[in-house]
Amino acid sequence: MDVNYQTFYWYSIASIARDMRGITMKEQIKEYFRRLQKTIENLDLDEITEAVNAVWEAYERKAVIYIFGNGGSAATASHFVGDFNKGISEGKDKKFNLVCLNDNIPMLTAIANDIGYKEVYRFPLRGKLKKEDLVIAISGSGNSVNIINAVLYAKETGCKVIGITGYDGGVLRRLADYHMDVNVDDMQLAEDVHISFGHMMYQVLGNVLEK
CB 167 within 8 A of CB 174: no
DSSP states along 11-63:
HHHHHHHHHHHHHHHHHHHHHHHHHHHHHHHTS-HHHHHHHHHHHHHHHHTT-
For residues 6-33, average pLDDT: 68
pLDDT value for 199: 98
* pLDDT tens digits, one per residue of 197-207: 999 999 999 99
CB 35 within 8 A of CB 186: yes
pLDDT value for 25: 82
Average pLDDT, the chain: 92
- Residue 28 scores a pLDDT above 50: yes
Three-state DSSP state, 159:
coil
pLDDT value for 15: 58
pLDDT value for 1: 43
**For the whole model, what pTM was predicted?**
0.89
